[in-house]
C-alpha cells in the first residue's frame, strides 16, 4: 500500500503524503522531501532539473573519456604483447645478427620480424621500398663480414630509428666495433631519409 501511494504520487506529479514515508530509510525520506519541495515550487524544480542535467552531461563526457582511455590502454597492451611475442620468437631463433636479418629464409620463419625491426612491412616489401622505390641505386647485397653494404647500412639506420636501439646493441648485431661506426652511417643516410620523408609528406595522394 505504501509503495503504491508513493508510485501514484510520482506518476501524477503530486506531493507524497508524509505517512507514506514513515517506514522508509532516512535516505529515501530525504529524496521524497526534495521531490515534494520541487512539486510545490515549479521554478525550483526547473532549476534543479537543469542542474541535474548538467551533472549528468558531465558524467557522460567523463564516461566517454574513460572509455576512450580504456580502449587506448587495451590497444597499447595488445601492441606490447605482440612485440614481446616477436622478441621471444627472435630469441628462440638465435637472436639478431648480421646474417639473420638479411636472410630470406630467416624472415620467412619470422614474418613479423621485418616490420618490427624496420617498420616497413614484410622483408620482401622492405627490399622493394629500399631497392626500388627509395634508392634504386642500392642493391640487395650483404656480406658475412667486413664493411657493411649500403643495404645493410640502411637496415642499421632504420633499426636504430624505428627500435631506438643503443649504439652498442647495433654494433653487436652487425658484429662491428669502432667508436664512430654507428654515427658515421647515421650521418651518411639520415639526411637522405629526411628529404625522402619530406617529399612523401607533401605528396598529393588525392590527385
pLDDT per residue as tens digits for the range 155-199: 999 999 988 888 888 888 888 888 899 999 999 999 999 988 887
**CA pair distance 199, 195, nearest whole angstrom:** 6
What pLDDT does residue 14 have? Answer: 52
Are the C-beta atoms of 15 and 36 separated by less than 8 Å? yes
Average pLDDT, the chain: 77
What pLDDT does residue 190 have? Answer: 93
**CA pair distance 207, 200, nearest whole angstrom:** 14
pLDDT band at 127 (very low <50, low <70, confident <90, very high): very high
Question: Stretch 136-151: mean pLDDT, rounded?
Answer: 89
Q: What are the tens digits of pLDDT across the range 5-62?
A: 555 555 554 555 555 444 556 656 666 666 666 656 666 666 666 777 677 777 777 7
Question: Which ranges in 93-137 belong to alpha helices (H)?
Answer: 104-109, 113-118, 123-128
Query: All 3 cell numbers of residue 38?
Result: 520541487
**CA pair distance 187, 167, nearest whole angstrom:** 14
Amino acid at each position: 500500500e505504501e509503495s503504491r501511494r508513493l508510485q501514484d504520487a510520482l506518476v501524477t506529479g503530486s506531493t507524497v503524503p508524509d505517512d507514506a514515508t514513515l517506514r522508509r530509510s532516512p535516505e529515501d525520506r530525504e529524496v521524497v522531501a526534495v521531490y515534494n519541495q520541487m512539486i510545490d515550487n515549479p521554478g525550483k524544480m526547473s532549476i534543479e532539473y537543469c542542474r541535474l542535467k548538467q551533472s549528468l552531461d558531465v558524467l557522460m563526457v567523463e564516461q566517454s573519456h574513460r572509455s576512450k582511455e580504456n580502449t587506448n590502454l587495451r590497444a597499447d597492451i595488445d601492441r606490447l604483447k605482440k612485440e614481446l611475442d616477436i622478441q621471444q620468437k627472435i630469441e628462440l631463433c638465435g637472436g639478431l645478427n648480421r646474417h639473420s636479418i638479411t636472410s630470406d629464409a630467416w624472415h620467412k620463419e619470422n614474418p613479423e620480424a621485418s616490420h618490427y625491426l624496420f617498420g616497413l612491412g614484410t622483408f620482401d616489401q622492405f627490399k622493394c621500398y629500399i631497392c626500388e622505390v627509395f634508392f634504386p641505386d642500392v642493391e640487395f647485397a650483404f656480406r658475412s663480414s667486413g664493411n657493411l653494404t649500403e643495404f645493410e647500412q640502411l637496415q642499421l639506420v632504420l633499426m636504430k630509428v624505428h627500435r631506438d636501439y643503443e649504439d652498442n646493441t647495433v654494433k653487436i648485431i652487425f658484429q662491428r666495433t669502432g667508436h664512430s661506426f654507428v654515427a658515421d652511417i647515421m650521418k651518411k643516410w639520415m639526411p637522405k631519409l629526411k628529404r625522402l620523408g619530406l617529399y612523401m609528406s607533401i605528396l598529393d595522394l588525392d590527385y
